[in-house]
Structures are given as C-alpha cells and as structure tokens.
Chain A
Amino acid sequence: MNVVVCVKQIPDPADPGALNPDHTLKRDGKLILDESDSYGVEMALQLVDKAGGGEVTLVSMAPNGEVSGLRTALAMGAAKAVLVSDDALKGAGALDTAKVLAAAVGKAGEYDLVLAATESSDGYTGTVPEQLAALLDLPSITFAKSVEIADGTVKVQRQTEAGYDECEAPLPALVSVTAGVVEPRYPSFKGIMAAKSKPVETVTVADLGLDAGIVGWAGAGQEIVDVAAAPEREAGEVIEDDGESFQKIVAFLDGLKVL
C-alpha cells in the first residue's frame, strides 16, 4: 500500500499575510507545513500501517527550494519527498499547479492512493485535488471526513451541505480529506532526527518534462488587474464585563427587535 500525499508549505498563518509588488503572496520567511495537510499525512500513515506495508511519499511545490515544512511531514513518518522548485512557478494558478503536481506524482513511484487536503490555508481554491485527479485520470472522492480501505476499494464519507454521502472508488484513486478526518500526531524526537536524512528529490519544471510556458504567470491564464483594501467594518462599543453587561446585550437585541 503506497500512498502519495500532496503537501503545501505556506507562510505561518499566524503572521499577517502580505503581497509582493507583482501580487504574489510573500513567501520570504520560513515556510511551514500547512496544517490542513497534516491530516492527509496522518491519514496516509495510518492507512499504510493498517495495510501492513508500503510507504508514504510527499509531493510538494514551492518557489524557493523550501523544505522545512516537508521535514515536519517526514518527521511524522513519511518516507521520502519530491519537491518541485522553480522560479517559473511564480504566479501559478490552480490548474497549472495541478499539472506540476501530476508530473511530480509520476516521479513518486507506484501508488495505490493519492491524498490531498481539500484546500490550502493560503490559496484555498479547493479545486487542485480534483484537477489533479482529472490529469491523472483517476476516480476521486473529495471532502472526505472518513477514509477506509478494504479489498482494493476506498470507502469514504464525503462531506455534503446537508450531512454526508457514503461513497467508494476502486484503487488507484484520489481522495481529498477535511480537517478532523484524523488527529495528526506530533513528530517525536526520534522522528525529527530521522527526517534529517530522509531523501528529498528536488526537481525543476524542465526535469518534469513540462514546458515553462504552461506554468506560473505564463500559464495561469489569468491577470490580476487590481488589489484594493476592502471597505472596513467599524468597531462599535467595547465594554468590560462588570457582572451586569448581559443587560447591555439584552438592550442591544431589543433594539434590533429580535427578542
């Protein structure tokens, strides 16, 4: 049972985000493993463990050769990683990102399952996993809140607006997982030490046999025409609770006639 997990390394969401003059997201500081992806990594480790053998391979794309987020996932227990790093990737959109990841999955070896988060915490398009499935010509089940594998079939509870759907697909398949599908482990000290020597293969767009014209600004097929501050919402009255502040809330609700 081999599982490929797509992971993204992002600027720490706790820091205020900022844009470069070319409207790309500033990624100068240390990048971390997107928390959303830790669920996919954990899910993959558990599925491989349950199957009694196999390995977890990470696939990632980052403009500046960044590996610190990958090391976190390797420390959790993934065996190896393929990182696509190339200046040509600047300005990539969802579709060209999926094309790059599809080519990188081809470098990851034989696989039974591809896992991804439903969306990244910085770009959150929520379309890359399904686009990746289309490019790899795989059946896919997105937005999984539970994943099980038995007899060459992946069984998934897929999140819906009203509840969930029970779905299944024959392997190989792609599944995108929601946060909360499993509880991600913290890397152990041993895991962190072991991760330092695990293989990370760094490749360029050309190494993947892709034309630089189909990725990044050149291939995204979109042009940012304006970035402006959104109209701000004014803060209202803020008071310290003196034991009677509930009356303020009652009066406020009364004024809005919702009582």
Chain B
Amino acid sequence: MALSKVWVHAELTPEGTVAPISLEILAKAREISDVVEVFTGGDGAAIAETVGKHGATKVLATGDISDKLQGVHVGAALAAAIEGGDAPDAVLLGTTYDGRDIAARLSVKLDKPVLTNNTDIDVADGIVVSTQIFGGTQIVKTKFAAGGPAIATFRPKSFVAEETGGAAAEVAELGLVDAGAAGAAKLLNRHVEETSGPKLDEAAVVVSGGRGLGEAGKFDMIEELAKMLKGAPGASRAIVDAGWVPYSYQVGQTGKVVKPTVYIAAGISGATQHMVGMKGSKNIVAINKDPEAPIFGIADLGIVGDVHKVLPKLIEALKAR
C-alpha cells in the first residue's frame, strides 16, 4: 500500500541550498508515496530545480523568514494548510534542530504524535517507523495509531540520496499565519564556524578523540592525524562537555552521525551515546588503554595501548611515506 502524498521538509543550509538530509529523505519518500512534495521555511524558487531532480513535484514555500525561528512559524503554516484540506498522509523531517522544532509545533497544532530518531519507514501495513534503542542494539517498530498525518523525523544517513532527473518542482505558497505571543522570538545573527577540510559527516576518514587523551592540548594529535588522512576530526561527548573542542565536533546520539570509510577512535571507551553515531562506519580502528572498553566489541582493528604512545608513532610513520 503506497501512500497518496507525503510532505518532506526541505531544510536549507546557511548558503541556501538543500541540506543533504532532506535529499536522503526524499529518496525514501519516493519509494513509499505516489506524490512527494516538499515544504521550506524560505525561498522556494531557489531550490525548485534541486528538489525536482530528487523527485519532488511541488515546493510549498513560506518565503524569507530568516529573522524568525523556523519551528513555530513553519509549524503553524503547515497546520493551517493541513486544516485547509491539503493534508498529506505523512510529514517527514530530519532529526535536526529545526526539523524537531517544526515537528513539535505541528504535532501540538494537529494534536498528533511525532515519532523521532527513526532510521526507516514502512507502509505495507499502516505507517510503521523503526528506531534504534539502547545504543543501536535493538530496533523498535512503532505504528502510528492516531490517524494522519503521521509526523516522523529521521536520523541523518538513514537513506541514500539519489537523483531521478525530474523536472523543476512547481513553486506554491505556504501561507504564514499569525503565531501570536508564541511567534515573538527573533533570530538576530547567524554565526557559521569556519572549518577547513571535509565536513565531519561527509568525510571519508574520521579521527575522533576522547577522554583518554588526558588533556585538551593533546587533541592536536587528532587534528594532525585527521589532516594527514584528508579526514575530519571528531570527538566524544565527554570532551565536548569538558570544553576541549566545540560541539560541532561531537559524534554520537546528540551530535553528528558519521558513516565514513574509516573511523579511528582514539582514547574513546565507547559509551552507547557515542557508538550510535559511528557504528555505521565501514571500518573502525580503536585505540584504548582498557582492554574491556566496549569500543573493541565493534572495532575491526583494536589496539590495546596508550594513545600517547601509539598516535605519535602512527603520525611519524605516515609522515615518512
């Protein structure tokens, strides 16, 4: 049973392009629904070609709202459109900052549940989503039982984006509504943290450091190794919370999900919170002093040893090549 129509959130990057996660979800949406349309809290014409290529036939766009927060305004606009009779069977978004806010506001407006952090969706017998629990060791399947539209958010890299070669999508207005007192928050300024090298969630190689590094200064080794491998540096939550590196480095449940060709975990024990974000890596190398560290349970190559001894030698050896 394919669905008749779904709406997918076309999330915008600071540059105004469509975020990779939205294109990933579009690929799955095409598989489960006859008609796929996107909605965006921004300019529709600018993304019509991209989302068309990925299978969307229509862009519902609010126009520029860059001085506002997305959740309350896009959520209210979607609810108004749905109550106006244009209801899809499902509204699919990324488990991102704005994705969760929009889904949350929409769920209250429609009084329908939202299911987050999903990694798959199936429509053979009702709308059923899959979610990983306990650090990805178990998968729970949950059926929407409150009638449509189903509101679901998906973790990054749950699906693979794929172009279909479709024509540019038709642009239509997603009418904003007065959100009253709840709409009073303002967005004043955007700060984009400059990073060199590949993005953490797109890099073929990720080198991550954890508490085992001992002190903030030792993270330099991680940065150096990542650079030599043309990869991106990452971090466990422990050292992000400790303030050693910015939050944007965090890999895990509350950080980035990565699936590189090689993931090197240095001084990371493997808390479930971390493993959820990296266990999809094609190959995993772990270096840790504790032979009982859970990370060794999923590593393809595990080195029981001191990162302060192993990493400098590894860096020297790679320099010599």
Contact = CB atoms under 8 A, between A and B. Distances in A.
B138 A230 contact: yes
Interface string B283-302: 10101000100001111111
Interface stretch (A40-48, A69-77, A135-143): A135-143
Contacts of B109: 134
B262 A246 contact: no
Interface in A104-148: 118-119, 121, 124-131, 133-135, 137-143, 145
Interface stretch (A81-89, A93-101, A186-194): A93-101
Contacts of B75: 134
Nearest to B316: A246
7 contacts: A13-B273, A124-B253, A179-B254, A223-B143, A245-B303, A250-B314, A256-B261
Given A220-B113, A221-B144, A246 B313 contact: yes
B304 A239 contact: yes
A236 interface: yes
Interface size grouping (class) on chain A: 35 or more
Given A235-B299, A239-B302, A130 B309 contact: no
A158 B71 contact: no
B318 A222 contact: no
Contact of A139 (B107, B181, B302, B321): B181
Interface stretch (A55-63, A168-176, A198-206): A168-176
Nearest to B100: A126
B92 interface: no
A74 B303 CA distance: 44
A165 B318 contact: no
Contacts of B237: 179
| Chain A residues touching B, majority SS | mixed
A166 interface: yes
Given A140-B71, A165-B191, A179-B241, A223 B298 contact: no
B14 interface: yes
Interface stretch (B126-134, B164-172, B215-223): B126-134
A171 to B, nearest CB: 10
Nearest to A214: B111
B197 to A, nearest CB: 14
A28 interface: no
Contacts of A134: 72, 75, 104-105, 108-109, 182
Nearest to B229: A258
B1 interface: no
A180 B191 CA distance: 19
